[in-house]
């Protein structure tokens, strides 16, 4: 499975868009990009996933570059409750059993 | 019901004790998982159950014993643990048994072994 690289930490002002980058330059054609987040002392929370088209749901948007070597998770109007560690995970959709492999993630701090 | 519940929230046990962690979901999900998370580290997979059968054991020591009595319930039996087993134990479920990485996590049980 492709490895991912994320910045260790980022800050964002409350009410502004938070753009979290993820590099996955060795991604293969059948691998999806998944995003999870973990708020302090809680279980991880699924956010969104995609293959090559941009995706949007009620929580966030996922923008994947045309060459699929990087992606950006966008939280359009960040709130203090969005402060969390965000994990970008690359996995084959119909591969082995659904075992997530979490990297170190990006610690996003949303500030008033 | 759209959540995964875990009990207890906190557990303190001695090295000679036997205890169990419980996880429940009523979303009709067919796969359930146990993860272990040490402080300031990402979660690490321990076990996967698909259709109530153990399908993955990530070389977990036998002092951890999982059990899936039915499709909604997952237990983790603990015996003769070590202090280094102190961690947050997370349960998750997913709609599909195979190839699904859309997992829904419970809040976890924070375990302290004394």
Residues of chain B with Cβ-Cβ distance to A95 below 8 Å are: 99
Q: Is the pLDDT of residue A65 over 60?
A: yes
Judge: A94–B102 Cβ closer than 8 Å, yes or no: no
Nearest CA in chain A to B101: A98
* pLDDT in the model for residue A2: 63
Q: Is the pLDDT of residue A95 over 60?
A: no
Neighbours of A87 (CB within 10 A): 25
CA B58 to each of CA A53, B45, B54: distance values in angstroms, whole numbers, following the listed order:
33, 7, 11
Q: How many beta-carbon contacts under 8 Å exist across A and B?
A: 70
Find out whether B19 and B13 touch, Cβ atoms under 8 Å: yes
Which of A41, A100, A104 is closest, CB to CB, to B103? A100
* pLDDT in the model for residue A98: 58
Which of B50, B88, B103 is closest, CB to CB, to A46? B103
Q: What is the pLDDT of residues B68-114, one digit of tens each?
A: 999 899 999 999 999 999 999 999 998 876 656 788 999 999 999 99
In the numeric block, which tokens belong to residue A40?
A: 């302090």
Q: What is the mean pLDDT of residues A11-23?
A: 97
SS3 sequence, chain A? CCCCECCCEEEEECCCCEEEEEECCCCCCCEEEEEEEECCCCCCEEEEEECCCCEECCCCEEEECCCCCEEEEEECCCCHHHCEEEEEEEEECCCCCCCCCCCCCEEEEEEC
Chain A closest CA to B38's CA: distance in Å? 11
Q: State whether residue A104 sits within 8 Å of chain B by CB.
A: yes
- Per-position DSSP letters for chain B, written without gaps between them: ---EEEE-SEEEE-TT-EEEEEEEE-S--SEEEEEEE-TTS--EEEEEEETTEEEEE-S--TTEEEEEEETTEEEEEEES--GGG-EEEEEEEESSSSS----EE---EEEEE-
Judge: A102–B55 Cβ closer than 8 Å, yes or no: no
* Nearest partner of A57 among A43, A68, A47, judged by Cα: A47
Find out whether B114 and B83 touch, Cβ atoms under 8 Å: yes
Q: Is the pLDDT of residue B40 over 80?
A: yes
Q: What is the pLDDT of residues B46-57, one digit of tens each?
A: 998 988 999 888
In the numeric block, which tokens belong to residue A89?
A: 């995970």
CA distance linking residue A55 with residue B24, whole number of Å: 30
């Amino acid at each position: 499975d492709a490895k991912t690289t994320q910045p260790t930490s980022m800050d964002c002002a409350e009410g502004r868009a938070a753009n979290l980058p993820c590099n996955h330059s060795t991604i293969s054609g059948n691998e999806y990009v998944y995003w999870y987040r973990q708020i302090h002392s809680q279980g991880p929370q699924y956010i969104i996933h995609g293959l090559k088209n941009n995706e949007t749901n009620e929580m966030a948007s996922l923008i994947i570059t045309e060459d699929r070597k990087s992606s950006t998770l966008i939280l359009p109007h960040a709130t203090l409750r969005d402060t969390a560690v965000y994990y970008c995970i690359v996995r084959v959709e119909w591969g082995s059993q659904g075992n997530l492999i979490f990297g170190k993630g990006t610690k996003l701090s949303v500030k008033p | 019901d759209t959540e995964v519940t875990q009990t207890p929230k906190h557990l303190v046990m001695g090295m000679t004790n036997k205890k169990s962690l419980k996880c429940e979901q009523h979303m009709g999900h067919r796969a359930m998982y146990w993860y272990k998370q040490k402080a300031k580290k990402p979660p690490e997979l321990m076990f996967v159950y698909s259709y109530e059968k153990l399908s993955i054991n990530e070389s977990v020591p036998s002092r951890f014993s999982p059990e899936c009595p039915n499709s909604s319930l997952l237990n983790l039996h603990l015996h003769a643990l070590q202090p280094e087993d102190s961690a947050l134990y997370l349960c998750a479920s997913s709609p599909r048994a195979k190839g699904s990485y859309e997992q829904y996590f419970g809040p976890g049980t924070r375990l302290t072994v004394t």
